[in-house]
């Protein structure tokens, strides 16, 4: 039992939040001092963030290949370095990434990478939720000659194994997987009732090339071949036409929007206002730290709001409140997770923001402050699945300094060869 007393809520009221096991059981006046009591004075309570697309261990590549064209970046700075990835490197890269996420208030993420068992170990150690998919394409991965088989093995091993780890099916993209591989992935995802997570129409080039080869656009192909469903979580989705947006809406596809990565790679601007208008569930994500370069969802919220305002020339294009929902409850909804709201019966995945800081004062509108004036470093305390995993800015389950040192060493070795 955890009780957070007299804590500020986003509506300006002060309440007590009671957590039993892994669920919020009361938000209101009720008091219970029988377990751990946290003083909520000068703290704001929020649901913690859900990051719906990343490649966690790519923290190891952070800052090693910036400001390059996409293809040159992949061919010279990512793929050769990833060849040197090992299980140990994936473990420390994931510890580093998970630490950064908790420090900035994220407790749940969707991942596509390699050595998932090592990633799972790191994620469980830090104590957050990982929806983990072993990346699949039609050539060998850093981990395996047969990425599909490796992914299926992980799915079988981790189905219902852990409270915090949920396997997902994660073929990389239509342009790196054959139709046959995509069908095999669909079969397994249906058999195990998994989220089907993939990159969709990220660059104009990939869409043009697909259309030239197949005579249809990527989303048309996915629609016509019945890949799309409410379990389909599509990352990026920048180059969609009106008909393709309608197809996503009809099939209740979930979209993961990665504005900072899209801007950094100059991939384009996703048609967020049009998608929202059609009722599509759109969540937010960082993408990997190699193309962001941080895993801070607070930063992503602000950039998302600013990007769509300047792109449409309309300051009302997206509000702070809408962006905040994308980073919390919409992310949880995309995964079928009862989280993302500070409400009775919801999972106790929450965070406390320190209000005793210069960029957090005054309090005219708390959601506006969170989106536009605060940063990840304002997060003070984080609870995931009913357990305190960070208190007063210190992670509970890990020796932070040791991880920073070891991850730094491994990253340096990998990048310098």
| Closer residue to Zn ion in complex, CB, 107/258 | 258
Instruction: Kindly state the smallest distance separating residue 53's Cβ from Zn ion, in Å.
Output: 6
| Closer residue to Zn ion in complex, CB, 287/325 | 287
Residue nearest to Zn ion according to CB distances in the complex: 287
Please spell the DSSP secondary structure of 331-349, one letter per residue.
HHHHTT-S-SS-STTSB--
Instruction: Kindly state the smallest distance separating residue 206's Cβ from Zn ion, in Å.
Output: 13
Parallel, antiparallel, or unpaired for β 387-391 and 394-395? antiparallel
Instruction: Kindly state the smallest distance separating residue 61's Cβ from Zn ion, in Å.
Output: 13
| Closer residue to Zn ion in complex, CB, 43/197 | 197
Instruction: Kindly state the smallest distance separating residue 207's Cβ from Zn ion, in Å.
Output: 16
Reduce the DSSP state of residue 314 to 3 states and report it. Answer: coil
| Closer residue to Zn ion in complex, CB, 287/333 | 287
| Closer residue to Zn ion in complex, CB, 299/349 | 299
Sign of the CA dihedral with 59 first, then 293, 372, and 285 last: negative
Binding mask 235-274 for Zn ion (x = CB under 5 A): ----------------------------------------
- 337 phi and psi, to 5 degrees? -105, 130
Please spell the DSSP secondary structure of 180-242, one letter per residue.
HHHHHHHHHHHHTT--EEEEES-SHHHHHHHHHHHSS-HHHHHHHTT--STTEEEEE--S--H
Binding mask 76-115 for Zn ion (x = CB under 5 A): ----------------------------------------
Task: Kindly determine how many residues on this chain lie close enough to bind Zn ion according to the rule CB under 5 A.
Answer: 1
Instruction: Kindly state the smallest distance separating residue 303's Cβ from Zn ion, in Å.
Output: 16
The tokens describing 251, both together, are 């099939």
Instruction: Kindly state the smallest distance separating residue 202's Cβ from Zn ion, in Å.
Output: 8
Instruction: Kindly state the smallest distance separating residue 295's Cβ from Zn ion, in Å.
Output: 13
Only one residue has tokens 């790519």, namely 58
| Closer residue to Zn ion in complex, CB, 202/349 | 202
Residue 148 CA to residue 145 CA, distance in Å, equals 9
The tokens describing 357, both together, are 């800081």
Contact in structure between 284 and 297 (CB atoms under 8 Å): yes
Binding mask 275-304 for Zn ion (x = CB under 5 A): ------------x-----------------
| Closer residue to Zn ion in complex, CB, 206/287 | 287
Instruction: Kindly state the smallest distance separating residue 235's Cβ from Zn ion, in Å.
Output: 6
Only one residue has tokens 């991942």, namely 111
Reduce the DSSP state of residue 137 to 3 states and report it. Answer: coil
| Closer residue to Zn ion in complex, CB, 293/381 | 293
Instruction: Kindly state the smallest distance separating residue 326's Cβ from Zn ion, in Å.
Output: 17
| Closer residue to Zn ion in complex, CB, 143/287 | 287
Residue 116 CA to residue 330 CA, distance in Å, equals 25
Sign of the CA dihedral with 52 first, then 57, 58, and 64 last: positive
Classify residue 57 as exposed, middle or buried by CB count within 10 Å of its CB (0-12, 13-18, 19+): buried
Cis omega before residue 117 (within 30°)?
no
Site for Zn ion, rule CB under 5 A: 287
């Amino acid at each position: 039992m955890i009780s957070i007393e007299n804590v500020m809520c986003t509506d300006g009221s002060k309440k007590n939040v009671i957590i039993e096991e892994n669920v919020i059981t009361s938000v209101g006046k009720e008091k219970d001092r029988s377990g751990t009591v946290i003083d909520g004075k000068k703290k704001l309570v929020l649901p913690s963030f859900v990051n719906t697309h990343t490649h966690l261990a790519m923290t190891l590549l952070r800052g090693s290949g910036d400001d390059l064209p996409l293809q040159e970046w992949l061919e010279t700075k990512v793929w050769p370095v990833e060849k040197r990835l090992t299980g140990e490197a994936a473990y420390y890269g994931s510890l580093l990434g998970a630490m950064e996420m908790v420090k900035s208030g994220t407790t749940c993420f969707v991942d596509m990478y390699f050595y998932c068992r090592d990633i799972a170990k790191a994620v469980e150690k830090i104590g957050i939720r990982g929806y983990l998919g072993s990346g699949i394409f039609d050539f060998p991965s850093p981990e395996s000659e047969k990425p599909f088989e490796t992914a299926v093995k992980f799915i079988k091993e981790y189905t219902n194994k852990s409270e915090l780890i949920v396997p997902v099916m994660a073929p990389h993209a239509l342009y790196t997987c054959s139709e046959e591989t995509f069908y095999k992935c669909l079969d397994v995802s249906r058999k195990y009732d998994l989220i089907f997570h993939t990159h969709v129409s990220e660059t104009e080039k990939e869409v043009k090339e697909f259309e030239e080869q197949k005579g249809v656009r990527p989303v048309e192909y996915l629609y016509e071949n019945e890949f799309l469903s409410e379990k389909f979580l599509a990352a990026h989705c920048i180059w969609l036409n009106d008909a393709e947006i309608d197809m996503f809406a009809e099939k209740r596809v979930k979209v993961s929007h990665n504005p900072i990565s899209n801007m950094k790679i100059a991939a384009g601007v996703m048609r967020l206002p049009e998608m929202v208008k059609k009722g599509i569930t759109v969540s937010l994500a960082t993408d990997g730290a190699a193309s962001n370069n941080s895993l801070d969802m607070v930063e992503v919220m602000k950039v998302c709001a600013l990007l769509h305002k300047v792109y449409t020339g309309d300051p009302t294009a997206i509000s702070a409140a809408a962006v905040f929902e994308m980073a919390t409850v919409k992310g949880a909804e995309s995964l079928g997770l009862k989280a993302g709201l500070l409400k009775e019966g919801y999972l106790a995945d929450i965070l406390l923001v320190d209000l005793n800081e210069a960029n957090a004062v005054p309090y005219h509108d708390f959601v506006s402050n969170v989106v536009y004036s605060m940063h990840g470093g304002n997060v003070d305390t984080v609870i995931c699945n009913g357990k305190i995993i960070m208190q007063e800015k210190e992670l509970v389950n890990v020796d932070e300094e040791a991880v920073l040192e070891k991850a730094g060493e491994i990253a340096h070795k990998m990048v310098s060869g």
